[in-house]
Amino acid sequence: MEKVIIFDTTLRDGEQAAGSSLNVQEKLEIARHLERMGVDIIEAGFPISSPGDFEAVRRIACEIKQSTICGLARAVAADIDAAWNAIEEAAQPRIHVFISASDIHLMHQLKKSREQVHEMAVAMVVHAKKHTEDIEFSPMDASRSNPEFIYQLLTDVIKAGATTVNIPDTVGYAIPEEFGQLIKNIFENVENIHKAVVSVHCHNDLGLAVANSLQAVQCGARQVECTVNGIGERAGNASLEEVVMAIATRGDLFNLTTNIKTQQIYSASRLVSELTGFAVQANKAIVGANAFRHQSGIHQDGVIKLASTYEIIDPRAVGVPASSLVMGKLSGRHAFKERLAELGYGLSEADFERVFAAFKELADKKKEVTDRDIESLMAEDKRTVTEYYHLERIQVTCGDRGIPTAAVKLIGPNGKELADAALGTGPVDATYKAINRLVKVPNVLTEFSVNSVTEGIDAIGEVLIRIESDGVSYTGRGADPDIVVASAKAYMNALNRLLSSKKQGTQDTS
């Protein structure tokens, strides 16, 4: 079967989603998982945008060897040179050059004519070709552009050396039949199209990103640009897991394949959700909490008799744990390590001991520890690995007759102990004020939400917050059976991200 190339842009377009902010280590961790999952091309970032993004792309290019590493660049020489400087150590480097092509963009954004854009595109593909043979070109907003202009532009950038031409539905405007026809017309009207791979990059403003991508594949496109969980600008991008599993599930229709190790999909989804702070909706296809749950009696009866009556995908095929084995305080190291492996986690001995200690501590508080609890523990462990300030201790007093008070002890840089107390309108408010007195980083709390990880009165509470500093939003998450402690952990997580971002010079990215 022919292969569809999976081009993942979680670290570039995905990170542009409002409210997302990833530091270098977090981007590297996601890149490692994408490589394990078998992603063909990782668009690691937009190197010219900030020193932090440049460094993240450079680090990823130096470490990741199995996937092609791509850097994005406008059709500007400085952008292209910066992209190359960031990816030149990659085993398989690619430069992705883009420029607007629609009349609305040309007139109101670039203020240039079609002729000027055409000249810039060709010249900058030639410039990029001096650095590497693997060049991708995108005429931005292609779905709203003059078709004849697109045909000529693609013909000439391929002549100039572009090896992949990407057709973006930048604002999610296209309808599947219309977008498919555009792809067909490109194959019919671009005389040298056989010399390049045709790619598509669809946005989800009308909820059609995956449908448009699959329609394009049926019409001959052989690269799909997508993101884990479909995150990205505005309503997001085509969802990697949906595109991949549609091709895998409907092999009878597509007769195509991908290199994706689908068993890694669920853990990739959880990782990206955790690090970006964007929760996965319960009814999200493939990776949502309800994707393989059945409540209707008729459905339950059918699944018991034969799973395929109501499940078109085996949950294990995407890495969703097959068993519901419950762990407890009597569970030993071996059982816990086996469960972690089943959930897709591989840890060093030191990391395992740290997580196992946290598991035992949780098991003393809860009668049963479920898979979701373990996933929460793993996420909590990741949050504590890179910290400028560590929450050492918190004590609160509150009630309908008393004044809410919080006393906090932090471990600061160089291991210095810091402690203070504050009053507030409630225990969480008092806690945040006490932390602010110690950390002293100006910010505004813009979002605060609490969710239960599992059912039951002893469930772990997970807190998601967003804070804003200098116009940039930072996400924090924390989990604990005590919701005030979870709130404090979430706030510390957001503050540490803020501090990390400023130290790495990434505060001007969003």
State the SS3 of 438-504: HHCCCCEEEEEEEEECCCCCCCCEEEEEEEEECCEEEEEEEEECCHHHHHHHHHHHHHHHHHHHHHH
Q: What is the mean pLDDT of residues 224-237?
A: 97
pLDDT band at 323 (very low <50, low <70, confident <90, very high): low
**Residues 275, 26 contacting (CB under 8 angstroms):** yes
pLDDT at 380: 73
Q: What is the mean pLDDT of residues 294-314?
A: 81
Q: Where are the domains of the chain?
A: 2-276, 290-320, 321-383, 386-504
Does residue 184 or residue 327 have the better pLDDT?
184
**In this structure, how many other beta carbons lie within 10 angstroms of the beta carbon of residue 215?**
23
pLDDT at 409: 97
Tokens linked to 351: 């990391």
Res 383 pLDDT > 80:
no
Question: Which of 187, 193, 232 is CA-nearest to residue 12?
Answer: 232
CATH superfamily of 2-276: Aldolase class I (3.20.20.70)
Tokens linked to 324: 């519901």
Q: SS3 of 14, please?
A: helix
pLDDT band at 505 (very low <50, low <70, confident <90, very high): low
Q: What is the mean pLDDT of residues 207-217?
A: 98
Q: To the nearest whole number, what is the mean pLDDT of the chain?
A: 91
pLDDT band at 386 (very low <50, low <70, confident <90, very high): low
Any idea what the Cα angle at residue 88 is, between residues 83 and 89, rounded to 5°? Answer: 135
Q: What is the mean pLDDT of residues 411-431?
A: 94
- Tell which CATH architecture fits domain 386-504: 2-Layer Sandwich (3.30)
By percentage, how much of the chain surpasses pLDDT 70? 96
Q: SS3 of 158, please?
A: helix
User: CA-CA distances (angstroms) from residue 137 to 61, 193, 422?
Assistant: 20, 13, 56
Q: What is the mean pLDDT of residues 195-210?
A: 98
pTM (two decimals): 0.84
By percentage, how much of the chain surpasses pLDDT 90? 68
Q: How does pLDDT run across 92-107, given as a tens digit for each residue? A: 999 999 999 999 999 9
DSSP code string of 18-40:
TT----HHHHHHHHHHHHHHT-S
**Residues 4, 222 contacting (CB under 8 angstroms):** yes
pLDDT at 509: 34
pLDDT at 508: 35
Please give the Cα distance from 504 to 232 (Å, whole number): 22
Question: Which of 136, 141, 272 is CA-nearest to residue 202?
Answer: 141
Question: Which of 124, 122, 184 is CA-nearest to residue 159?
Answer: 122
Domain 2-276 matches domain 386-504 at the CATH topology level: no
pLDDT band at 166 (very low <50, low <70, confident <90, very high): very high
pLDDT at 60: 98
pLDDT band at 387 (very low <50, low <70, confident <90, very high): confident
Res 295 pLDDT > 80:
no
Please give the Cα distance from 300 to 315 (Å, whole number): 15
Does residue 299 or residue 318 have the better pLDDT?
318
Q: How does pLDDT run across 23-48, given as a tens digit for each residue? A: 888 899 999 999 999 999 999 999 99
pLDDT at 105: 97
Q: What is the mean pLDDT of residues 275-297?
A: 86
